[in-house]
Every structure is written in C-alpha cells, then in structure tokens.
Chain A
Amino acid sequence: MSVLIFIDQAEGHIKKSSLEALTYGAELAVQLGTNAEGIVLGEVKDDLTALGKQGVKKIQHVNNSALNHLDAQVYTKAIAEAVAATGAKVVVFSHNLSGKAIAPRLSAKLKAAMVAGAVGLPNTSGGFVVKKNVFSGKAFANISLNTDIKIISLNPNSFHITNGDGVAEVVSQNFATGVSPKIKVTAVNKVTGEVPLSEAELVVSAGRGLKGPENWGMIEEMAHLLHAATACSRAVADAGWRPHHEHVGQTGLAIAPNLYIAIGISGAIQHLAGVNRSKVIVVINKDPEAPFFKAADYGIVGDAFDVVPKMNAAIKKMKGL
C-alpha cells in the first residue's frame, strides 16, 4: 500500500522540489494510513538520513555512478523495480524537469494513471481525485486516477516543506544494474552565482518599461537584496536585453514563487500564464490601465526609475544594511 517518492539529485545534492515531494508523499501516506519511502538514484553528497525530517521512514538508495545523470529510460526501469520491491501503490514525483521526463514513462510502463502538475493532496473520500493546474494557470481540473497504482507529479512550489526531527533509514539497493544509459551527458553549463529561477521563492522581473538593458542595475540590486531570482518578459528576451532563460510566460518558464514583483511589464495574457500561480504579485507600472494590476495583490502606479531605487533603499534599511 505504501507511497514511494522519487528524490531528485543534481551533482549529488537533493533538489528543493524533491523535499516538497517528500513532505507531500509523507502526508499522503498518513492520509492513506500507510508508510512513505523515498528512492534516490546515483551517487549523493548530502546526508540521506536527514530526509527523515520530511517524514519518510526509509530511503532506497541505488548508489551507482551510472545513474548520476538523468536518463529517463534507465531511471524508469529502476523506479519500476522499486515499485515492485516495495509494493508501492502511489508514486510521487516533483513536476520538475526530471519528473516531467520520468513520471510519464513510468505511467506508460506500469499502465498506472498519472496526474501531471498536482497542486494539492488527493481527495480520497470515495475515489482518488487530484487537482491539477490546466490552461497555463488559468484553471484547475480535478482528475480521477482509475488504476491500482497511481502516479502524482507535484507542481514545484505548491506544497510547504516540513522539517521535523525524523531520521530515515537508508537501504542500499541495486535496481537497474547492468543497464547502461543511452544518453551521455558531455557538458553541464550552469548559470553560476544566481538563484535558479525555477526554484526561486522570490522573483524580481522587469519588462520593456525599463527602456534598455543598461537599466537593469536596480533590478539586480533588488533581487540581490531579497535573495530573489531575476526574470523578464518575452519582449525583453527577444530584444536581447536579458538572457532567454529569464523569459517567463506561456512560451517561457512557468513559475509559482511566493512573491513575483513585476516592474514595467504590461501583463499581457501570455505573460500572466507563466506567473499567475505566484502567491503574491506586486506590480509597478506607470500606466494605471496596465492589465497586470488586475492580477496584482499590491501595486504602485508610478515611474519605475523613481520607485525602484526608493524601494531598494527601504529594503536595505529594513534589513539593517
């Protein structure tokens, strides 16, 4: 009956989105009256017993360097073996980059019903119904999972991580031994020194209202002061003012941070589609008619070049800097 949670690592470190999935899986297990276990593939540097803090009792670890990099085919095989070994009835992933690669494969392999992009725990009164995000954040669908084994991939940033004092038992496993990955990773190019946008809790974003790339200093300063990631509108990325990986929206990255500060962005529907799941939206725009104000929680109708430096000064003061 148990719940199995796939725990994702990069360069040996457990991803934050996996801690959300772990907490979710542990709470789901309590709801179902069963146990939660985690599975980690590849070599890790972090202390796996500490994952007990999120409420799981046991971690299955395949300490095999051939699994250090994502090959969805091999990972799926390993997880399917873990499902068989543990008798898991629900498998939880984060709907992050790896989850999007593996969870659908596992669903097809096990013919197990899957919901991609869940935003909460299932409703199990008389069925197994999970709410997910659809229409690019503009609506939700309640999906009934109609098979014995079920797969849930949880939208990043939609579940709070708990930190208890549990210690997990780590069990060494050799699932998928002898299978060699077909995908060979030859280079990893990371944007260093910044908060990755997809995992950021706070995001400072700016649009064409900033007039030119030379004016991003105050945006970067605000992001730095808040430990936030920077983002931008498509118009800005297309103009080459900011790198493409910062582009959020329908055709860019969809994010759901706790705070999204939009500066000089009009709030076109395609932009909103990528950010409307943010918990709090702040809009700074000199046009009171900018559509973004309709989606905002807080706002200032004003000139960014005047407002942003003053906000930065106030943040510095608040933080005692």
Chain B
Amino acid sequence: MKILVCISKTPDTTAKIAFTDNNTKFAQDGVQWIINPYDEWYALVRAIELKEKDAGTIIHLVTAGAADAEPIIRKALALGGDEAIRINTDSHDSYYIAAQIAEVAKQGGYDLVFTGKETIDYNGSSIGGMVAELLNLPYVSLATKFELNGTTATITREIEGGEEVCEVSLPVAVSCQKGMAEARIPNMRGIMAARTKPLKVVEPAAIDALTSIVSFELPPAKAGVKLVSPDTPEELVRLLHEEAKII
C-alpha cells in the first residue's frame, strides 16, 4: 500500500491578514507558518494510522513550494511519513499546483491520494478534485471516516444535514476533514528521525496557470456593535424584527 499525502503551508490560524504591493501580495512579515490544519490533523494522521495497522504501508508527502516550505515538510515527516517530495516552485494557482502534484503522483503508483478538505488561506477545496481528474481516479471529498478492507475503502462523507457511507475500490483520491483522525503532536523520536528522512526536490513541469490574482481586499469594517441593556432583551428582539428585518 502506497499513500501520497498532499501538504500545504499556510499562515497560522491567528496570523494578521494584511496585504502589500498595492494589495496584490499577502504581507508575510512576522507570519508564523504551519502545516495546513486539514492536511496535518486529518489527511496525514489518518495515513499514519493506516501505516500503524499495516507496517507494509509506505507514506510519501508532497508539497509544491519554495525552499522556505522545508520546515513545514520536516515537521510533517516528524509526525510520520517515510519520505517527502518538494516540487520547487512558487504557488501560482490551484490548477498549476494540482497538475504538478499529478505529475509526481503518476510516477509513484499510489493506491491512495489524501488531501485536506481545503487550505485555510485560499479556501479553494480544489486541489484534491483536480488531482483526481488528472489521474483519472474516483474522488471522495469531505470525508469524515476512512476504513480499508483489502483493496476496498469504506468512506463516510458529509452530505447536507448528515453523512453518507460509500464503498470504492482502490486507487482513490480522498479529501479529509474533521472525524478522520485525532490530531497528534510530533514526539522527540519522530523529530530526530525526520532529520534523516529523504526529502527529494524536483523541478516543476511546464504547466500554465489558468487564473491570476488581480488584488486582495479586506472586508469593510463593521459599523460597531449596537448594545441593548440586559434588562430589556425584548428590545433586541424588536430590533432584529423591525430594524434588521431578519426575524
């Protein structure tokens, strides 16, 4: 069993969001970078759990990013995973990244491709589906559970107002969210081992991005909260009915 886990680097959840260069670039000064939480907590940890059940499992991590993505991928290796591949490129758009990952995946012969459900910076929820299409694999998105029985996967995915259980034969691509696994922290042994795990750098394939970012903008500031006295909660109900016209 060979699993490819896609890892993305994102700003920490508490990072201040600001832009430079005439609002065309994210202001990276002082930003802490983390592994995209969905990639780490759900996709990677579930892959590690599968390896713990079946020691023959091989986990490869892939990230598309410049050299500054290496601390992130080392941290992912410290959690688990056997080796990592960094595609040496700055990010362009989702399609560009997905196509790069697909090129790597084609050479690996993976049974499973795991992604997080979306990145917390771009919120595209796109890479998994694009990779699946480029590899001609079935795709189960927004999975909350994943079990393996031989070469058949039983996957639970979110639907509006509930969940749905489905079965699919490997190979398959899966985007992972809450429920898949419990978050872990790397231990000392893992951190030491990660230093010597192979981290292969490959050059990007010639692929054109399909989109470009024109500008970023921050949402308009809220006008400020209108406070109602705790002695008259009925006044709040009235405001929601008559002023906001929402109930």
* Residues of A near any B CB (own CB < 8 A): 10, 15, 69, 71-73, 76, 95-97, 100-109, 111-117, 129, 131-147, 182-191, 194, 196-199, 202, 226, 244-245, 247, 250-252, 254, 258-259, 269-270, 273, 276, 279-280, 282-283, 293-303, 306-308, 310-311, 313-315, 317-318
Q: Which residues of chain A are near B190, meaning CB under 8 Å?
A: none
With A299-B226, A299-B228, A301-B227 known as contacts, the answer to whether A247 contacts B217 (CB < 8 A) is no
Task: With both chains docked as a complex, state the minimum distance between the C-beta of B161 and any C-beta of chain A, in angstroms.
Answer: 3
Q: B141 at interface (Cβ–Cβ under 8 A)?
A: yes
Chain A interface, DSSP helix/strand/loop, else mixed: mixed
Q: How far is the CA of A306 from the CA of B120 in the complex (A)?
A: 37
Q: How far is the CA of A270 from the CA of B227 in the complex (A)?
A: 24
Sampled A-B contacts (16; CB under 8 Å): A72-B132, A103-B126, A107-B210, A135-B123, A139-B19, A142-B217, A146-B209, A183-B166, A196-B160, A244-B178, A245-B162, A279-B246, A296-B222, A297-B223, A300-B233, A314-B238
Q: Which residues of chain A are near B239, meaning CB under 8 Å?
A: 298
Instruction: Tell me how many residues of B have a C-beta within 8 Å of chain A.
Output: 82
Q: Is the CB of B132 within 8 A of A280?
A: no
Residues in B203-218 with C-beta less than 8 Å from chain A: 209-218
Q: Which residues of chain A are near B213, meaning CB under 8 Å?
A: 141-144
Q: How far is the CA of A299 from the CA of B225 in the complex (A)?
A: 6
Q: Is the CB of A250 within 8 A of B141?
A: no
Q: B134 at interface (Cβ–Cβ under 8 A)?
A: yes
Bitwise interface map of B from 2 to 24 toward A, beta carbon under 8 Å scored 1, else 0: 00000000010110010100000
Q: How far is the CA of A289 from the CA of B241 in the complex (A)?
A: 27
User: B165 touches which one: A96, A189, A194 (CB < 8 A)?
Assistant: A189
Q: Is the CB of A302 within 8 A of B230?
A: yes
Chain B interface, DSSP helix/strand/loop, else mixed: mixed
Residue of B nearest to A116 (CB): B124
Q: Is the CB of A314 within 8 A of B233?
A: yes
Q: Is the CB of A282 within 8 A of B120?
A: no
User: A107 touches which one: B130, B159, B165 (CB < 8 A)?
Assistant: B130
Residue of B nearest to A99 (CB): B125
Q: Which residues of chain A are near B43, meaning CB under 8 Å?
A: none
Q: Is the CB of B226 within 8 A of A298?
A: yes
Task: With both chains docked as a complex, state the minimum distance between the C-beta of A154 and any C-beta of chain B, in angstroms.
Answer: 13
Residue of A nearest to B141 (CB): A101
Q: Is the CB of B236 within 8 A of A139?
A: no
